[in-house]
């Protein structure tokens, strides 16, 4: 865990360089079976490790992250290093600037980026199969998907390649891979973390969030990342609590709401069972539970996809090949033909599907019927949650309706794939914070995610409850066995 | 066929050229004369992951204009995205405002008062809104024949305000008057210098009453508007004269060929898929902020006109023309205040110089007074020399050209040798010569006393305008009477 490593560096038991060397040997050993990474930066990472070791030896401050290795999702800009959103259209693109969270983690606190993780193209997907580089494999069983869209980050952490990573969550893209890979993933309140430098998919829904092995590491990254960024107008001026200090707080007397709709039809039996077992553990810790209703759950999928696709259709207009990324030049042609060819060749099937649907939803004559209606339902869903938070501190439920599915199983059935987001996307629609932590395994030995949803800006409470539950379950100590078998 | 009523509405886009930075990023706003693509950043280039942050000063400028145009400001609003593909639009959408789909303009209503002859007329405004300018496209020759397009993103993201009028204008001349007044108000608010090349663009909606309208796009200067409107109205009339029907369409003003070309008809109108820009939070303007801007609002042309009438005894008509160009009005005030002895007659004389010869010179040279070397001190000196009888008004007129390059009238007297001739003997000698040599005009004078003007003109020509006009006239009358006895 990050905390243990930091202690060892402080006690001069470990050098940062040793950690980085070890990380890359672990990656080299396992990457064939995982494909978590799409770009690695070994040389840069080793250089920075040596510099930091020297600085530390001289007694200089090296920030809060002590050169710890971190894996960053391929849609978060890292200056002068490839950032492609796992899309052909951005191949070769090196952003000229750092995302704000990258600035805070890498520049101000000296985490070391070891590489960029695989994802569904432009974060559109729940399986990491929609990547132009090919899929990532679930570390617990490589016939299964790692979840998505931040599947590379989930797999890299679950397999022990790295202990820290970043994902982004538009409709569950941090929590889904956290659940499927058996690690901790947090989607912060909308506006908690800066989105500056996160390549937009659906900008009113998404947040960058940490994926880590344990809750404490998650809290550590959140403390550094969270807070107002003058470069992101939607980032909020709300005090960032001392998350780590409050992890040990007693949760006695806290009220936990259990929404009946989130345990209904379509939720796998083993998932229900393990989540209920975790609720029993919380009860042993003297929390109160109440049964509540979030009646608009059935509308969340259409609402989420209408909003996300509409926004995507506009956000992805900038990829025309003129200023950056892939361009398909042709002699004596007009610019619109270049646009068409670039976009036609550069985007994958799922991205095209969402752009077309979003364009349709925003078109004259359809706007009121689709986009405006989705906005209205969005308000209803927010209100549902607010009613519950009048009575309860948090809401708990499964993160995903099932455990991981097989690679290829749903790829030709987009609607079924979209339905996988049913328990995660209401949180994005409402803009609330939520965490997924592992709460057990199913009969196929695949991990199950437990979701804790908080009220706005109450990351501290969900981290606190997640930590207390984690201490009881002790699942983070369990690592999958990844042999040298070829995939 | 009786004349159909002309209906014109204008959409004017002006750049907030007096801002230091662009609308959504911190890049410099003064792109003119700069190396192409030198004032750019990830935000105005629309790089993936970059986000806009609203320039608060632009909001203040828009508030100033809204107040100056008597609009009703929307205290809460959000931005929209206007989506379309074009190489000048790096994000694939323009951040703008929209008054449909739950959106609001920056401000609604308002009006501009214009004069038609001596009759005042209020032109109602529909709304004003804030938006960003696309990049600048550069072609070799015309866009159609150019083998390439170059894009300069220095202009990308510069703040624009769009001012939309109601279809209240009834002729190209009214449109010109409206634009003159609008330009004047903008100059007084201090938000933009519309003399800068490319700082304003106009789209005009034109129709003949009862017939479909056309929207003429891409009129790139105020001066072109009247010309484009005249052309388009004539086109409408010609179509109807031939017994054909007009269609609702968008047309493009080609300013080199000076005609409009059809771009697309109604059924092919672009669908911009306007929807809220969620990267910017809703803007809330506090009452106290609006009040502060109101308190700091500079004097507007209408108030200044009234003050000029009162403080400087100027006739309404003159005061009105004088205040239109703020630079001229400022120059006037500095000149009249440069000498404590100036009287109301001097104020009027200074006003006349500025409205007459000096404005004419500025027009001919296509410049404004601040760009010249003329100073209030020089103009003041000229007026004093006339008052002292050292030069005549005619001589003074010949000095204007040199004075615009900073030469002093005193030095010009020495340099040219020109000064007022007031010696009666000298003038009488010239008058006698003129009478002798122009007997035909003298005969004419018997029947038509106005012919005296022609004779005085001959004296002036002989003295190169130096003879005092009043003395010359008196002596001419005397001598004519004598010669006819
Ligand atoms: Zn910029």
Question: For A456-477, what is each residue's pLDDT tens digit?
Answer: 999 999 999 999 999 999 999 8
User: Of the candidates B262, B293, B324, which is a domain's last residue?
Assistant: B293
Distance (Å, whole) CA A50 – CA B434: 104
Residues B164 and B149 in one domain: yes
Which residues are bridge partners to A185 per DSSP? A211, A436
User: Of the candidates B266, B293, B320, which is a domain's last residue?
Assistant: B293
A contact test, residue of B41, B51, B80 with most A CBs within 10 A: B51
B contact test, residue of A79, A87, A122, A320 with most B CBs within 10 A: A320
Residues B309 and B434 in one domain: no
Confidence of residue A299 (pLDDT cuts 50, 70, 90): very high
Domains belonging to chain A, first-starting first, are 2-258+390-477 (3.90.1300.10), 299-372 (no CATH)
How does the average pLDDT of chain A come out, rounded? Answer: 95
The whole-number average pLDDT for the span A324-341 is 78
User: Of the candidates B416, B433, B468, which is a domain's last residue?
Assistant: B416
Domain count of the fold of chain B: 3
A262 touches chain B (CB under 8 A): no
DSSP A109: T
Chain B, 119 to 178: residues with Cβ < 8 Å from chain A are 149, 151
Contact (Cβ atoms closer than 8 angstroms) between residue B468 and residue B395: no
Question: Which entry of A41, A127, A131, A149 is annotated as an active-site residue?
Answer: A149
Chain B positions in Cβ-Cβ contact with residue A311 (cut-off 8 Å): 278
B282 touches chain A (CB under 8 A): no
pLDDT of A326: 66
Distances (CA, A) of A136 to A25, A32, A159: 19, 10, 12
Considering only A147-151, B279-283, B384-388, which range has the smallest mean pLDDT? Answer: B384-388
Chain B, 26 to 65: residues with Cβ < 8 Å from chain A are 42, 45-54
Query: Would you call B341 exposed, middle or buried from its count of C-beta atoms within 10 A (0-12, 13-18, 19+)?
Result: exposed
Residues B229 and B333 in one domain: no
Confidence of residue B415 (pLDDT cuts 50, 70, 90): confident
Higher per-residue pLDDT: B119 or A428: A428
Q: Is residue B365 part of a domain?
A: yes
Residues B78 and B37 in one domain: yes
Supply the pTM of this predicted model: 0.91
Whether the per-residue pLDDT at A212 is higher than 90: the answer is yes
Distance (Å, whole) CA A398 – CA A297: 14
Q: Is residue B457 part of a domain?
A: yes
pLDDT of B418: 77
Chain B positions in Cβ-Cβ contact with residue A367 (cut-off 8 Å): 101, 273, 275
Token pair for A192: 């908690």
Question: Does the ipTM surpass 0.90?
Answer: yes
The SS3 assignment for B312 reads helix
Chain A positions in Cβ-Cβ contact with residue B271 (cut-off 8 Å): 363-364
H-type helices in A265-324, by residue range?
A: 269-284, 300-315
Token pair for B440: 């035909």
Is the Cα dihedral A267, A273, A274, A275 positive or negative? Answer: positive
- B395-405 pLDDT tens trace: 889 899 999 99
Domain region containing B332: 299-416
Instruction: List all residues 6 or more positions away from A19 whose beta carbon is below 8 Å from its beta carbon.
Output: A5, A9, A49, A67, A68, A69
CA B184 to ligand 1 centroid distance, Å:
30
Whether the per-residue pLDDT at A485 is higher than 60: the answer is no
Confidence of residue A37 (pLDDT cuts 50, 70, 90): very high
Over its C-alpha atoms, chain B yields an Rg (Å, rounded) of 28
Chain A positions in Cβ-Cβ contact with residue B53 (cut-off 8 Å): 230-233
Residues B203 and B324 in one domain: no
Residues B153 and B176 in one domain: yes
Buried b (16+ CB within 10 A) or exposed e, A306-341: bbbbbbbbbbbbbbbbbbbbbbbeeeeeeeeebbeb
Q: Is residue B1 part of a domain?
A: no
A415 touches chain B (CB under 8 A): no
The SS3 assignment for B454 reads helix
Greatest CA separation for chain A: 74
Higher per-residue pLDDT: B268 or B114: B114
Which residue in the set A76, A323, A363 is minimally distant from B271, CB to CB? Answer: A363
DSSP A370: I
The SS3 assignment for A116 reads strand
DSSP A105: I
Residues B126 and B150 in one domain: yes
* CB–CB contact B51 A195 (8 Å): yes
Q: At what angle do helices B301-312 and B172-189 cross, to 10 degrees?
A: 80
The whole-number average pLDDT for the span B136-161 is 89
* CB–CB contact B87 A371 (8 Å): no
Residues B359 and B464 in one domain: no
Give the helix, strand, coil percentages of chain A, each rounded to 5.
45, 15, 45
Distance (Å, whole) CA B316 – CA B324: 13
Whether the per-residue pLDDT at A328 is higher than 70: the answer is no
Is the Cα dihedral A170, A174, A179, A184 positive or negative? Answer: negative
Instruction: Give the CATH number, domain containing residue B460.
Output: 1.10.10.410
Helices and strands (H and E) in chain B: how many: 16, 17
Residues B408 and B449 in one domain: no
pLDDT of A332: 65
* CB–CB contact A203 B279 (8 Å): yes
Distances (CA, A) of A90 to A118, A121, A337, A452: 14, 10, 19, 35
The whole-number average pLDDT for the span B342-364 is 94
Closest CA to A310 of A390, A398, A202: A202
pLDDT of B2: 65
- pLDDT above 70 covers a percentage of chain B that reads 99
Residues B257 and B379 in one domain: no
Which residues are bridge partners to A211 per DSSP? A165, A185
Confidence of residue B106 (pLDDT cuts 50, 70, 90): very high
B contact test, residue of A85, A195, A314 with most B CBs within 10 A: A314
The SS3 assignment for A102 reads helix
* CB–CB contact A95 B49 (8 Å): yes
Distance (Å, whole) CA A135 – CA A334: 36
- pLDDT above 90 covers a percentage of chain B that reads 71
Distance (Å, whole) CA B130 – CA B107: 10
Q: Is residue B253 part of a domain?
A: yes
Token pair for B264: 């697309």
Chain B positions in Cβ-Cβ contact with residue A85 (cut-off 8 Å): 48
Q: Is residue B61 part of a domain?
A: yes
Residues B262 and B391 in one domain: no
Number of Cβ atoms within 10 Å of the Cβ of A60 = 9
Closest CA to A136 of A173, A170, A171, A93: A173
∠ CA B391-B396-B400, nearest 5°, is 150
Closest CA to B90 of A204, A84, A321, A337: A321
Distance (Å, whole) CA A421 – CA A148: 10
CA A95 to ligand 1 centroid distance, Å:
15
pLDDT of B484: 74
Which residue in the set B85, B151, B279 is minimally distant from A336, CB to CB? Answer: B85
pLDDT of B187: 96
φ, ψ (nearest 5 deg) of residue A322: -75, -50
φ, ψ (nearest 5 deg) of residue A272: -55, -45
Closest CA to A23 of A164, A149, A121: A164
Residues B398 and B472 in one domain: no
Greatest CA separation for chain B: 98
pLDDT of A445: 95
Give the distance from residue A231's alpha carbon to the nearest chain B alpha carbon, in angstroms.
6
* CB–CB contact B47 A367 (8 Å): no
């Amino acid at each position: 865990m990050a905390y243990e490593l930091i202690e060892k560096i402080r006690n001069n038991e470990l050098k940062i360089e040793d950690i980085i060397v070890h990380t890359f040997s672990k990656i080299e050993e396992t990457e064939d079976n995982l494909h978590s990474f799409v770009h690695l930066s070994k040389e840069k990472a080793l250089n920075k490790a040596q510099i930091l070791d020297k600085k530390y030896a001289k007694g200089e401050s090296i920030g809060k992250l002590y050169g710890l290795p971190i894996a960053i999702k391929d849609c978060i800009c890292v200056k002068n290093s490839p950032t492609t959103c796992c899309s052909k259209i951005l191949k070769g693109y090196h952003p000229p600037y750092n995302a704000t969270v990258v600035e805070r983690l890498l520049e101000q606190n000296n985490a070391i980026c070891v590489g960029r993780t695989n994802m569904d193209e432009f974060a559109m997907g729940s399986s990491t199969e929609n990547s132009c580089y090919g899929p990532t494999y679930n570390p617990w069983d490589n016939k299964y998907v790692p979840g998505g869209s931040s599947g590379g980050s989930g797999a890299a952490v679950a397999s022990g390649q790295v202990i820290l990573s970043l994902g982004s969550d538009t409709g569950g893209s941090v929590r889904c891979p956290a659940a499927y890979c058996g690690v901790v993933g947090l989607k912060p309140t909308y506006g908690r973390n800066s989105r500056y430098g996160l390549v937009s998919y659906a900008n009113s829904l998404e947040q960058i969030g940490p994926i880590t092995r344990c809750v404490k590491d998650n809290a550590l990254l959140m403390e550094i990342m969270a807070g107002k960024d003058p470069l992101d107008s939607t980032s909020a001026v709300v005090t960032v609590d001392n998350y780590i200090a409050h992890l040990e707080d007693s949760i006695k007397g806290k009220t936990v709401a259990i929404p009946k709709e989130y345990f209904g039809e379509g939720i796998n039996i083993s998932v229900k069972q393990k989540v209920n077992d975790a609720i029993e553990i919380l009860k042993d810790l003297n929390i109160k539970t109440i049964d509540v209703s979030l009646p608009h759950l059935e509308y969340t999928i259409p609402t989420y996809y209408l909003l996300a696709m509409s926004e995507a259709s506009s956000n992805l207009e900038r990829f025309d090949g003129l200023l950056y990324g892939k361009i398909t030049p042709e002699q004596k042609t007009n610019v619109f033909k270049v646009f068409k060819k670039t976009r036609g060749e550069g985007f994958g099937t799922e991205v095209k599907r969402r752009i077309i649907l979003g364009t349709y939803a925003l078109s004259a004559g359809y706007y009121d019927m689709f986009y405006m209606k989705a906005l209205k339902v969005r308000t209803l869903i927010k209100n549902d949650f607010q009613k519950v938070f009048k009575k309860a501190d948090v809401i708990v439920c499964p993160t995903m309706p099932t455990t991981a599915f097989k690679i290829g199983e749903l790829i030709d059935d987009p609607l079924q794939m979209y339905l996988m987001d049913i328990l995660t996307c209401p949180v994005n629609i409402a803009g609330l914070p939520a965490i997924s932590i592992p709460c057990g395994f199913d009969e196929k030995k695949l991990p199950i995610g437990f979701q804790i949803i908080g009220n706005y800006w109450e990351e501290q409470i969900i981290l606190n409850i997640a930590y207390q539950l984690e201490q009881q379950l002790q699942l983070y100590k369990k690592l999958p066995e990844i042999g040298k078998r070829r995939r | 066929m009786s004349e159909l009523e002309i209906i014109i509405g204008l959409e004017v886009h002006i750049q907030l050229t007096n801002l230091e930075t662009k609308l959504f990023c911190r890049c410099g706003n003064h792109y003119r004369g700069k190396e192409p693509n030198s004032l750019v950043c990830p935000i105005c280039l629309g790089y993936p992951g970059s986000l806009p942050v609203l320039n608060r000063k632009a909001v203040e400028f828009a508030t100033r204009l809204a107040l100056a145009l008597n609009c009703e400001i929307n205290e809460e609003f959000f931005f929209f995205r206007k989506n379309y593909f074009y190489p000048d639009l790096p994000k694939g959408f323009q951040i703008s405002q929209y008054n449909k789909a739950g959106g609001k303009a920056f401000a609604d209503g308002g009006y501009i008062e214009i004069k038609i002859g001596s009759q005042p007329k209020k032109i109602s405004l529909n709304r004003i809104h804030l938006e960003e300018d696309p990049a600048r496209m550069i072609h070799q020759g015309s866009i159609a024949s150019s083998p390439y397009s170059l894009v300069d993103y220095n202009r990308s993201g510069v703040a624009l305000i769009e001012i939309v009028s109601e279809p209240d204008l009834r002729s190209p001349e009214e449109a010109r008057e409206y634009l003159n007044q609008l330009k004047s108000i903008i100059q007084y608010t201090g938000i933009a210098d519309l003399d800068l090349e490319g700082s304003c663009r106009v789209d005009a909606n034109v129709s003949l009453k009862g017939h479909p309208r056309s929207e003429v796009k891409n009129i790139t200067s105020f001066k072109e508007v009247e010309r484009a409107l005249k052309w388009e109205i004539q086109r409408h009339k010609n179509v109807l004269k031939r017994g054909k029907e007009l269609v609702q369409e968008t047309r493009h003003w080609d300013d080199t060929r000076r005609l409009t070309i059809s771009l697309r008809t109604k059924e092919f109108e672009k669908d911009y898929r306007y929807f809220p820009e969620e990267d910017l939070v809703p803007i809330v303007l506090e009452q106290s902020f609006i009040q502060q801007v109101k308190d700091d609002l500079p004097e507007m042309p209408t108030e200044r006109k009234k003050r000029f009438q009162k403080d400087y005894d100027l006739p309404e008509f003159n005061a009105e023309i004088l205040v239109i160009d703020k630079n001229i009005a400022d120059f006037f005030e500095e000149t009249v205040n440069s000498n404590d002895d100036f009287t109301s007659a001097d104020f009027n004389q200074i006003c006349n110089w500025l409205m007459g010869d000096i404005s004419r010179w500025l027009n001919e040279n296509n410049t404004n007074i601040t760009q010249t070397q003329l100073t209030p001190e020089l103009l003041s000196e000229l007026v004093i020399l006339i008052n002292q009888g050292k030069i005549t008004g005619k001589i003074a007129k010949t000095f204007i050209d040199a004075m615009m390059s900073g030469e002093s009238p005193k030095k010009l007297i020495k340099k040219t040798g020109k000064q007022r001739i007031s010696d009666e003997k000298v003038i009488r000698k010239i008058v006698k010569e003129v009478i002798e040599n122009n007997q035909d005009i003298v005969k004419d004078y018997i029947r038509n006393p106005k012919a005296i003007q022609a004779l005085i003109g001959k004296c002036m020509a002989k003295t190169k305008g130096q003879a005092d006009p009043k003395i010359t006239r008196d002596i001419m009358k005397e001598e004519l009477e004598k010669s006819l006895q």
